[in-house]
Structure 1
Amino acid sequence: MNVDDTNENESSVASLSEENLIHTVMQLFVAGSETTVTTLRWCFLHMIAYPDIQSRVQDEIDSVVGRNSLPRVSDKLPFTKATIMEVQRIASIVPMGVPHVAATDTTLRGYFIPKGTMIISNLWAIHHNQDTWDEPEKFKPERFLDSNGDLCHQNEYIPFSIGRRACLGENLAKMELFVHFTHLLHQFSFKKPKESPPITFESNLGATSAPLPFELIVTKR
């Protein structure tokens, strides 16, 4: 073993101790549970607000998956995935990104940022920038589809924060959201009760941006 291999191994051991591993796994479940549940609440609020989009999602699931089996992560459901992405964009569940620190003195667009400065990205502003998004205040899943109806990614879509140290559980969260959302819409339909208060997209802002309490009717398909 040469010196470089030894240093690499020592660095790996030092950065991934048992304590760090325990904290990392705990954060995956604790932080991931809160944001995933909040995102699903926004999803179903938008489904009762836009029943035509709910029907399009269900039609796509039925045509690809069928009624006799449940959706899988590997299923090609571009409109369904675009709908989840649009919920994440317009709701911006974590409106302010994970804090970062400038590693060195930096100048960005004429602004001097000293080493050690805390930097917080405004994800809500990025997701509602009129220069980037056409009618950003409107719920339009189609914005994430290309001319062929295939899913397309936009660099300004960053619900899991930005930078090298973005959300650790991004891939896990995407799978959880897809599975829960598609399974529920495969089995049930959701609508607003006639006597319930008008739908509002106002939110309670805390660690996450959560929708205000709302009522819905769940019907077996």
Structure 2
Amino acid sequence: MPDPRERTPAYLSYRLMLFSLAAVQTVSAATTHLLFDLYSYPPSASLIPELRDEVLEVLKEDGGNWTMRGLNKMVKLDSAIRESMRLSCFGTRGCTRRVAKEGGITLSNGLWVPNGTTLTTPQWSIHHDEDVYPQANEFIPFRFYDMAQAQESARKSMVTTSPEFLAFGHGKHAW
């Protein structure tokens, strides 16, 4: 049973403020990184108008309204945001988990990990791996758009996680 003090208005307010601060801070940082990445990209003089045209075209189709359907049609903008999040990620590690099972766990390779151990994924290393992302240290705004076109597969949106894209973590609860 949780501690009853955790259900007090003061404690709940504190938790809500903490989550709100984290959300505002990460969105602000991601937006700042995106602007830096877009405007430091050598042919930004043509990139910015191309992204603007895509947004204006979709808005025109949707009567000037921002909709989820419209956002899903902004595939080049989505790719640029996803690429910025890959290249300019917030941290070096992600998907932090603590072993909670009494007696620990044994991984598929036979390694035993004791209870209380913290495990993480090397997010920065994966996002900058040349085998996963050729020219990994370069901002290539349409990388994800081009990958989807080349594979003729369903495009993965900015919020789609995978073992290779960990900006939002990954696991059984990921979208």
TM-score, scaled to structure 2: 0.71
In the alignment, what sits opposite 1:115? 115
The counterpart of 1:65, out of the listed 59, 63, 74, is 59
Q: Give runs of aligned pairs for residues 137-152 of structure 1, distance below 5 A.
A: 137-145=137-145, 146-147=148-149, 151-152=155-156
Asked if structure 2 preserves the Cα contact closer than 8 Å seen for 1:79 and 1:151, the reply is: no
CA distance, structure 1, for counterparts of residue 79 and residue 57 of structure 2: 17
In the alignment, what sits opposite 2:75? 78
CA distance, structure 1, for counterparts of residue 141 and residue 120 of structure 2: 27
CA distance, structure 1, for counterparts of residue 126 and residue 32 of structure 2: 22
Classify the secondary structure of the residue corresponding to 1:133.
coil
* 1:165 positional shift: 7.6
Per-residue CA deviations over 1:5-53 (Å, capped at 9, x if unaligned) read xxxxxx79x8x83566434422331111111111111111112112133
* Segment of structure 1 superposing worse, 120-129 or 92-101: 92-101
Runs of at least 4 residues off by over 6 Å: none
In the alignment, what sits opposite 2:88? 91
How many residues matched? 155
For the aligned residues, what is the CA RMSD?
A: 3.2
* 1:164 positional shift: 5.8
Same amino acid, percent of matched pairs: 21
* 1:126 positional shift: 1.8
Asked if structure 1 preserves the Cα contact closer than 8 Å seen for 2:161 and 2:167, the reply is: no
Provide structure 2 residue ranges, at least 5 long, that are not aligned to the other structure: none
Asked if structure 2 preserves the Cα contact closer than 8 Å seen for 1:100 and 1:118, the reply is: yes
* Larger helix share, 1 or 2: 2
Provide structure 1 residue ranges, at least 5 long, that are not aligned to the other structure: 1-10, 172-221
Q: Comparing both chains, which one has the higher relative contact order based on Cα–Cα distances under 8 Å and sequence gaps of 6 or more?
A: 1
Per-residue CA deviations over 1:111-145 (Å, capped at 9, x if unaligned) read 32111101122211121122222221122233323
The counterpart of 1:160, out of the listed 161, 165, 168, is 168
Classify the secondary structure of the residue corresponding to 1:100.
strand
